[in-house]
Amino acid sequence: MAATAHATQAHRGRVLRALGITPWARRHIPSPAIAAVTADDVPAMAMGAGDCVVVLPAGCSPRELDLVGRALMSCGPALARAPRVEVSNGQLPRAPQARAYLVFGEAQAHALGRELPAATLSRAHIVLADEPSGVLSSGAGKRRLWNALRSLRRALSQPSE
């Protein structure tokens, strides 16, 4: 069977060359073994050193997360790839450092305020939006989210100090 497959590949190459098509072969590059990386393995500055961090309540439904993801994608790749941190039981797992924070809900804003150092809070641009469930349920929540995203984009477009 291997000889037939080899002959078939050789025949295919000859036919493609006869038609004037250059056959391309995909290179196989062996990938190194990648160990599972946990949040504790990544330094705090490496994980949260980006421009923006999204702070969400814990236990959001897939529909709510889809809404948040689509809204962030509409603002470009920098916000679409922004790290997302969930607040559970009023606690952030770790306080990431960033230039701006998009916070969904007042409880999450309070948790962020408790975790971040005062110097980081004074430098950061914090934008508050309704919780994802509130955004899904009302037009006013959607309007406030778009206004928050516009404010966040404006803040991120300014050069950092």
The Cβ of residue 13 has, within 10 Å, a number of other Cβ atoms equal to 13
Q: Which domain holds residue 147?
A: 44-157
Q: What is the DSSP letter of 68?
A: H
Residue 110 is assigned to a structural domain of this protein: yes
> Is 53's pLDDT higher than 50?
yes
Q: Which two tokens stand for residue 23?
A: 């056959």
CB distance 124 to 116 below 8 Å = yes
In the block, which residue shows the tokens 């790290």?
A: 83
Residue 26 is assigned to a structural domain of this protein: no
How many domains, in total, are found in the chain? 1
Least confidently predicted of 30-44, 55-69, 90-104, 132-146: 30-44
> Is 29's pLDDT higher than 90?
no
Contacts of residue 155, defined as CB under 8 A and 6 or more positions apart, other chains included, come to: 99, 100, 125, 127
CATH number at residue 142: 3.40.470.10
Residue 150 is assigned to a structural domain of this protein: yes
- Whole-model pTM: value is 0.66
Question: For residue range 62-96, what is the model confidence (pLDDT) as tens digits?
Answer: 999 999 999 999 888 888 889 999 998 888 887 77
